[in-house]
Structure formats: C-alpha cells, structure tokens
Amino acid sequence: MQAASRKAEAPLPAPDPDWWRGAVIYQIYPRSYQDSNGDGIGDLKGIIGRLSYIADLGADAIWISPFFKSPMKDFGYDVSDYCDVDPMFGTLADFDALIAEAHRLGLKVMIDEVLSHTADNHPWFQESRSSRNNPKADWYVWADARPDGTPPNNWLSIFGGSAWQWDTRRQQYYLHNFLAEQPDLNFHNAAVQDALLDVTRFWLERGVDGFRLDTINFYFHSQGLENNPALPIEQRNDQTAPAVNPYNYQDHVYDKSRPENLGFLERFRALLDEYPAVAAVGEVGDSQRGLEVVAAYTAGENRVHMCYAFDFLAPEKISAAKVRNVLEDFDKAASDGWSCWAFSNHDVMRHASRWGAGEPDRLAYLKVISALLMSLRGSVCIYQGEELGLGEADLAFEDLQDPYGIRFWPEFKGRDGCRTPMVWDADARNGGFSTAKPWLPVPRAHLAQAVSRQQDDQNSLLEHYRRFLAFRRSHPAFAKGDITFLAGEGDVVAFTRREGNEQIVCAFNLGSRPAAVDLGEGRAAQPLAGHGFADAAEGNTIRLESYGAWFGRFA
C-alpha cells in the first residue's frame, strides 16, 4: 500500500522563475485591511481571513506593507527590528501561517523591505550614536557641522526642513531623508550591506516570494556631501513631493540616485538568485530622472527584476498622450528592462478622486482606465480598495495620523485619506473592518461601495475587475507580450500586444464622447469576448462609446 501510494504521488511542478513578469500584485496596507482581534488595527490574522477574496479577484501575488517591529512614527516604515513582527500585527507564527495559506490559494507573497533607513530606536542606531568610535559608528551617515554650526549642506527631507538632525551625544549631524526619527543607513559601509542581505535571507528562508523595495534609489549618498543645485522653476514638478514642499526646488543629484547603488543591487540580486523563483520590485522616487533610474536598475539579469516610478501616481491626470509617451520612453530607455505600473498606492491620493472626480460617468471611467492599466506591457499593482472604486477620504485635522499631512496641512493633507480601512460589509459596524473604533475613521460614503454591495452585481466595479483579470489571464500576450502603439486621436489609446502567434488589438476611449480608431487599409479585426465592454467594429474601424474599450484580433 505504501509503495502504491508513493507511486501515485505526482512530482511537484518546478516553480516558474518568471512568474513576476506580467503578474498582477495586490497591495495590502495591513493596518487597514482587516482587524481580527478588535483593537481597531488590521493584522496578519485578518489578512489570512481575506486571502480567498484576493485569490477570487484574480491576483497573482500580494504585497504587504511593513509589519515589522516599529515605534510607528511613520507607521511601519521606521523599522526597529527587521526580523520580527510588531505585536500589533501578530507573531512570526502568524506570518508563517499567512505564507502557507497564500501558497495554498496559489498566491505569491511579497513583503516591503525598508532598507534605506531604520527607526531611531533601532539597536544599530543606538550603538552608532553612542560615540564616534564604536563598532557601528559608521553604520549611519554622520557629518560635522559647518563652522557656523549649521548643517553640512543644503539637502532637504521629503517630510520638510533640513535632511540633517543634530545629535548631542556625538555632536554631529545625521542624515534623514524622511522623518528625523528615520536615520539613513550608510551603504558605503560593506558591513551595513552585509547586515541587510542577512535580513533579506531571513525572510527568504521563511518562504517569501519577493520584495517591494522601499525608496530603492535613496540607498546611497555622495560621500562628498556636495550641495544640491537649485532646480529651475520651469522644471519643478510634484511627482515625488507635493507642490507646497520646497523639496521640489532642488535637483537631487547628490542625495539619491547615485551610481554606486548598482553594485549593491547586483549583490542583492545574486542573493535572490540562490532561490528558485523570487522577485523584487523597486520604488523609484525621482522627479527628474525616474525612467532613467528605472532603466538602469532593471537592465540585464543581474539587478532588480522590475521597478516603478511615479509617472502614473502623480497628480497629473492620465491621458492618451501621456500613456504613449511614458511607455515609449521607457522602451527607449530600457528595452530589456521591466516596469510595474500602478495608479494608486498607500502614498498618493486615490486615483478615483485624483482623476475620476470630475468625470460625468465616474464608474464607466474607472472601468476603462483599470482595463487600460491591466493591458499595458509590464506588471501591475492594484491597491486595496481600488477595485471597489474607493475615493480619497476627506478627514478632519483631528483625525490625522500621518506626520507628513500634519506638517503641510491644509494645502497637503497627507496620506491618511488613502489609508482608511477596507470596507467589507455595508451593514456591519465600521464596514466589517473592526468591531472597535478604527485607527482611522471609515468614511460613510465608502459603505455604499463595500464588497457586500458589489459582489455578484455584474455592473459593479468589483465584478469588472474580476472579469477583466480572468480575461487577462486567458491571453498570455497581456502578461509578457510586446506592445506597439497604433494611431489614435484625442482621448483614444490604441496598441497591439503580441506574444508568439497571439496578437491582440486593444483600444480605449478615456473620454466622455464617442470616438473611433482607424486600423488602416486592409486591417480589419475581429472582436474578442469576455472582457465586459461592448463590441463595435466595422471593417477597419473600431467605434468606441464614451469610456469604452475594444479587444480583438486582426482578421
């Protein structure tokens, strides 16, 4: 009997090392996803209980924002212990259970690694600040004051003010690109790199399938500590920081995006390649050189697998011209690189409000731009709640938790508006997120968009996401195919996706008026079914209703 049983067991299929290419990654902000213990804060057990929802949606992977031990000055992006779970989120055993359940459901698990800086109560920093000659004295970026006592240069923090904080113990300044409670690690020190690679191995050994690398282009600084030059006013934009932030006044050539980073990324990739099917996506925050940096970081096979810049996360509204320009510019800069596109995440205003607020038919608009996102060449990140069409929450000042918003209020209200709790059940207390008062309020307007109200309603945005993700999965060209843009006028984006013998024609009308796409003489196309948009083609002309999309093959 035992021999027969062993003979019947089929060998497990080899993991696909290329799973990340074209994957749809669902981002979870753990504080706001599901509370399992009634303290008003989401946790790992809450995520476990909702994994089947994500699998049913059709995502390939999840990315979990930080859940490590932290004083929570920046809500987990200030890590005090890289190798443990903060008690508010659970335990390492809970994380192991999450990995097991996700894998059972066919979901990959990516976690958020915050390597550029730590919390100021991290043991490494506590030792580093204790003297100028301790074993970790050079693990952070320290510099003497100028003769007049001012900071060593003009570098600015994204969260406002100087990027330098005076420390009375060492009587030196330390660098912090974000909060003063988030000192920057010194990547010029090989021991720092080694320690961070050990952290990465710790989570790889626990079974994670990949990493989202926070602020990947902030790892290195110029050791010369040169002043950043002023940025001409006509070149300023608000892609990395809000318009009211003077951070936008500088050309950040010395405090980030340094060429030395490539060597560390190659060390990082070599570690990942020791494991059969692990991937990394880097966050690139650079308003002047974003695509250039993404291209450099993803070139070849020995750096990170994919990156994303803020091209579609910035306030500027998406348009047909912008879509084509961004993707064609990326292809020119990184023909062998790979990007990961997103319209929303935990750091920016939700795109349902950022772009959709003024549209005559907001639901139809959100459907067409989501279909566009999921049809572009690259991988895709979906931020929790965007599949419900959640808009930015308008919170009172007294409800704010984000230090960024508190600093720049009221012109910039921070990131709390996109971090409010997920709404599961319109009729349950706090939308089914928690039985206790949530850490951020649940907007009353969100309750009408809860999962309970949208599931099984074929006209809802949630069912549109489910339908379109199934459609995408049934056509491999969407995941890994090439992209070639077709002529389009006005608000129309049109292109083909080709993989092997499959070529799909895709057309999207981002506007509120009917439009058409002329495929050219003798290039008629036949429609594909299953995506949920109306089919309308006559010969070589595709007719698109307002906010319509069309998918087909050349006849």
Long-range contacts of residues 231-237, Cβ cutoff 8 Å, at least 24 apart: 231/288, 235/288, 236/287, 237/287, 237/314
The C-alpha atoms of residue 342 and residue 451 are separated, in whole angstroms, by 21
- DSSP-assigned letter for residue 17: T
Active-site residue 214, yes or no?
yes
Residue 281 near residue 212 (C-beta atoms within 8 A): yes
- Helix, coil or strand: residue 505: strand
> In terms of DSSP bridges, do strands 279-283 and 306-308 run parallel, antiparallel, or are they unpaired?
parallel
Q: Is 444 exposed, middle or buried (0-12, 13-18, 19+ CB in 10 A)?
A: exposed
- C-alpha–C-alpha distance, residues 439 and 431, integer Å: 14
Residue with tokens 């379109």: 468
Choice among 214, 286, 387, 392 that is catalytic: 214
What is the rounded CA–CA span in Å between residue 370 and residue 356? 12
Which residues, 6+ apart, have CB-to-CB distance to 408 below 8 Å?
Answer: 160, 242, 244, 245, 414
Q: Is 104 helix (H, G, I), strand (E, B) or coil?
A: helix
DSSP string, 245-275: -GGGGB--SSSSS-TTHHHHHHHHHHHHTTS
Dihedrals φ, ψ of 415, to 5°?
-110, 0
Tell me, yes or no, if 274 is annotated catalytic: yes
Contact present, 115 and 185 (Cβ < 8 Å): yes
Phi, psi angle pair for 269, to nearest 5°: -65, -40
Q: Is the dihedral of CA 104, 113, 350, 34 positive or negative?
A: positive
The SS3 of residue 117 is strand
Would you say 221 and 175 are in contact if contact means Cβ atoms under 8 Å apart? yes
% helix, strand, coil for the chain, step of 5 = 30, 20, 50
Cβ-in-10-Å burial (0-12, 13-18, 19+) of 195 comes to: middle
The residue type at 246:
P
Of the candidates 274, 301, 398, 456, the residue annotated as catalytic is 274
User: What's the maximum distance between 2 C-alpha atoms anywhere in the chain?
Assistant: 84
Separation of CA 499 from chain center: 26
Question: Quick one: DSSP state of residue 183?
Answer: P
The torsion of the CA quartet 183, 185, 191, 197, rounded to 10 degrees, works out to: 110
Q: Which two tokens mark 173?
A: 């300044």
3-state DSSP assignment of residue 521: coil
- Known catalytic residues are 214, 274
